[in-house]
Structure 1
Amino acid sequence: MLDRILTGIFLIIVIGAGGFYLLTMPQRLDAATLADVPAGDAAKGERIFWAGGCASCHAPPKSEGDDRLKLGGGAPLETDFGTFHAPNISPDPDAGMGRWTFDDFANAMQRGVDPAGRHLYPAFPYTSYVNLRLSDVADLWAFLQRLPAVAERAPPNDLAFPYNLRRGIGLWKLAFLDKGGPVVDLPPDAPAAAHEGQYLVEGPGHCGQCHTPRSLGGAGGMKGVRWLAGAPNPEGEGRVPNITPSTSGIGNWSASDIVYYLESGFTPDFDTVGGAMVEVQKNIARLPEDDREAIAAYLKAIPSVDSASAPTAGSTSE
């Protein structure tokens, strides 16, 4: 009898382990689809580089000028799960991405999988980058290939158990990583600029990663019904503000106020950008004026969500 019980327990363990292994296997983009993507245009890729804020995480802290294009790894990101270190994404063949292919890069950007087949932590915002057009991913890849190679390796992540077990991220992805698509429904009369702004904000700009609260105590996916309504600071100090058009957000800002803020760093009441937004604003100021106007049009068109009340309707994602 005891032998049967032990055999049953063993079989349950084996079946459970097999199921976990299959469920958490990294899922890559379709190879045939990637093969059809045209070669990228580096000039166009620079726009995606600044929209995506690559320098904010991967360049040296507080770097200026050409140093912002030396992507050897940036400042540590302190979180409740441990410390993440942005990796070297320069073209260096040993410390950076010099041996990567475009397919490797696209899978990292949109499926959170590195060339060795390991899950990447969602501190890297691939849940937003999944909304990028593959042609833009190719353009960004072409631009990154032209940047200086940096030979220094970034420090490894310092994460507590069980967050240091990458395989478990496969389960997180099953719940929170989709195939991309609009996060909110824009009104039928939204201008064309708002739709381009939606692409920039929800895709390369990954604004929701900081401005939207998350489920599961901050460990889960972004709450679509609270899209851009403000969230706890992932680094532990204060809150990231509400940027919806509500009275507790930026509802009293005009579209031109938003554009000027993104260009200059000055708010309508003559305050200045602060905190982590300093780097974001610095990046967006490098974009064409049309892009800043598109972002402003989108932020004026999205559902209004009050910081202190129940969420309003209008979201297509939870």
Structure 2
Amino acid sequence: MKKAITVLFLLGVIAAGTGWGLSAPTRLSQTQDAALQEGDPDRGELVFWAGGCASCHAAKGAEGDELLKLGGGLRLETPFGTFVAPNISSSEADGIGAWSLADLANAMTHGTSPDGRNYYPAFPYTSYARMSGDDLGDLYAFLKTLPAVEGKAPGHELGFPFNIRRGLGLWKRLFLDPSPVIAAPAGGAEVDMALWERGRYLVEGPGHCGECHTARDFAGGLILADWLGGAPAPTGEGRIPNISPVDGGFGSWSASDIAYYLESGFTPEYDSVGGEMVHVQENMARLPAGDRDAIAVYLKAIPPVSAAGS
């Protein structure tokens, strides 16, 4: 009996040690870290709008220059608890002003904080993981130009077991993948591949469209087989629409319809954008026309997701 208890104890220790190791936060490799270079703030501003940074980190209802004051505080009510967007202004004490470029890159592509904690995926690093080092360097340069906002945002409000950050390391091993979601169209497809690939980068990476428009499983991971096929709203109110090219609805829009909607906020039926999409559309309107065209080309050439699958 004692021998059996000893064996069970040792197995428990081994399992606990394995789990602890697998849940450890990950970081850029030395090679990736060395390749990072601070970029151009003007290009970084475009990355900032593509990534929707102000939508979560500026004050609710902010407009104009107030959108560049990133003091955080937005509350995101979810089935897992309430997440509060942090201060990411240039304040060294309360924001990210003391961060290095590598700190920002680790946060955005690995979901790992400078002090080695796992970030919650309410911060969409599972999409930002697909961003290029050049874009990260440009974004870093732009963020340094923004005003410092004093004061830390409140902490998250999470119950057990979701308040155990270490466990997110195991979650990231399942759901954090920097590879593209959608393969390039077959050779015979009549698609401008340069535009399509740019659109894929914007939608799957900085634009993080799948974070809202794709259904999630019980663990909160995206169901990639239903990519952009619509999903319950993350806040639990309403439903995010299917934006795959399925027959009817959004699927009936042309590429020019989509690009115009992203620029103007008007649908082909002359309805206007509403809800949380207002912020997204306003961000997309700040991008070059070619980027909106690229997004439209991508959305028209991905696999459709049926209403039943969405």
| Fold match (TM-score > 0.5) | yes
Partner of 2:51: 52
Q: Distance in 2 between matches of 1:69 and 1:176?
A: 31
Aligned length: 306
1:135-171 deviation digits (Å, cap 9, x = unpaired)? 1011101100100000021110001110000000011
Contact kept in structure 1, 2:82 and 2:158, CA below 8 Å: yes
Partner of 2:81: 82
Paired residue for 1:208, among 210, 215, 220? 210
Q: CA deviation at 1:14?
A: 1.5
Structure 1 residue ranges, 4+ long, deviating more than 3 angstroms after superposition = none
For residues 5-20 of structure 1, what are the structure 2 equivalents within 5 Å?
5-20=4-19
Partner of 1:114: 113
Partner of 2:157: 158
Partner of 2:180: 182
1:209 is matched by which residue type in structure 2?
Answer: E
**Percent identity between the aligned chains?**
57
1:53-73 deviation digits (Å, cap 9, x = unpaired)? 000000001100000000010
1:30 matches 2:29: yes
State the secondary structure of the residue aligned to 1:159: coil
2:216 is matched by which residue type in structure 1?
Answer: R
2:267 is matched by which residue type in structure 1?
Answer: T
Partner of 1:270: 270
1:123 is matched by which residue type in structure 2?
Answer: A
State the secondary structure of the residue aligned to 2:76: strand
1:195 is matched by which residue type in structure 2?
Answer: E
Contact kept in structure 2, 1:60 and 1:75, CA below 8 Å: yes
Contact kept in structure 1, 2:38 and 2:140, CA below 8 Å: no
Normalising by the residue count of structure 2, what TM-score does the alignment of the two structures yield?
Answer: 0.95
Contact kept in structure 2, 1:60 and 1:73, CA below 8 Å: yes
Contact kept in structure 2, 1:197 and 1:291, CA below 8 Å: yes
Q: Distance in 2 between matches of 1:269 and 1:176?
A: 37
Q: CA deviation at 1:12?
A: 2.3
Contact kept in structure 2, 1:248 and 1:306, CA below 8 Å: no
1:43 matches 2:45: no
Contact kept in structure 2, 1:176 and 1:220, CA below 8 Å: no
Q: Distance in 2 between matches of 1:6 and 1:112?
A: 39
1:287 matches 2:287: yes
1:81-113 deviation digits (Å, cap 9, x = unpaired)? 100001101110111001111111100000000
Q: CA deviation at 1:10?
A: 2.5
State the secondary structure of the residue aligned to 2:82: strand
Partner of 1:73: 72
Q: Distance in 2 between matches of 1:95 and 1:31?
A: 28
How well do the aligned residues superpose, as a CA RMSD in angstroms? 1.3
State the secondary structure of the residue aligned to 1:34: helix
Q: Distance in 2 between matches of 1:249 and 1:137?
A: 35
Partner of 2:98: 99
**36-45 or 65-74: bigger deviation:** 36-45
Partner of 2:243: 243
State the secondary structure of the residue aligned to 2:251: coil
Q: Distance in 2 between matches of 1:195 and 1:6?
A: 57
Q: Distance in 2 between matches of 1:74 and 1:201?
A: 26
1:231 matches 2:203: no
Q: CA deviation at 1:249?
A: 4.3
Contact kept in structure 1, 2:27 and 2:112, CA below 8 Å: yes
Q: Distance in 2 between matches of 1:145 and 1:291?
A: 25
1:251 is matched by which residue type in structure 2?
Answer: G
1:263-310 deviation digits (Å, cap 9, x = unpaired)? 1111111111111111111111111111111111111111122222x5
Partner of 1:314: none
Q: CA deviation at 1:252?
A: 1.3
Partner of 1:198: 200
State the secondary structure of the residue aligned to 2:300: helix
Contact kept in structure 2, 1:56 and 1:74, CA below 8 Å: no
**168-177 or 186-195: bigger deviation:** 186-195
Q: Distance in 2 between matches of 1:249 and 1:205?
A: 22
Partner of 1:316: none
1:213 is matched by which residue type in structure 2?
Answer: A
| Structure 1 residues without counterparts, runs of 5 or longer | 312-318
1:166-197 deviation digits (Å, cap 9, x = unpaired)? 0000111111112x122112323321212111
State the secondary structure of the residue aligned to 1:39: coil
Q: Distance in 2 between matches of 1:198 and 1:168?
A: 30
1:232-251 deviation digits (Å, cap 9, x = unpaired)? 11101111000011124412
Contact kept in structure 2, 1:87 and 1:153, CA below 8 Å: yes
